[in-house]
């Protein structure tokens, strides 16, 4: 189950902090800050979706992610490849390199990363 954009924003704060109380998460937002009840509702939804859990300390809850950012992103990239590129990573890579405004340096970094992965498979 995918997170909404608002949930993803909150999840990014939690990934960065690793563990956080509601106040810590609220402090991550610029003004005008969302209401604490709004964040509590989002955290409850995210808990129901199995992305977040918490430990109780007195009357407070310390939230922590149940999934890494890398794992979450990987699932969504794989779904993107499956749904928009005929389940072909090669089509995705071709589109990505041709239709985005990557500099020569960025393209070389991608090439180096691919070569590194190819060497690991040998």
Per-residue pLDDT of the chain (122 residues; tens, 9 = 90+): 789 999 999 999 999 999 999 999 999 999 999 999 999 999 999 999 999 999 999 999 999 999 999 999 998 888 889 998 998 888 888 888 888 888 889 888 988 998 898 898 88
Cβ atoms 34, 27 nearer than 8 A: no
Which stretches does DSSP call E strand in 9-116? 20-21, 52-57, 60-65
Query: Which of 13, 80, 11 is closest to 51 using CA atoms?
Result: 11
Q: What pLDDT shows up at residue 101?
A: 85
Residues 75 and 71: their CA atoms lie apart, in Å, by 6
């Amino acid at each position: 189950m995918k997170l909404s954009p608002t949930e993803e924003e909150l999840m990014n704060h939690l990934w960065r902090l690793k563990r956080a109380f509601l106040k810590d998460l609220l402090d991550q937002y610029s003004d005008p800050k969302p209401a604490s009840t709004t964040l509590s509702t989002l955290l409850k939804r995210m808990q129901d979706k199995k992305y977040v859990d918490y430990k109780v300390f007195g009357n407070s809850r310390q939230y922590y992610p149940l999934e890494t950012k890398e794992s979450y992103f990987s699932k969504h990239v794989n779904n993107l490849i499956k749904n928009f590129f005929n389940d072909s990573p090669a089509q995705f890579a071709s589109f990505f390199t041709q239709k985005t405004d990557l500099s020569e340096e960025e393209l070389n970094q991608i090439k180096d990363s691919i070569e590194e992965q190819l060497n690991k498979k040998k």
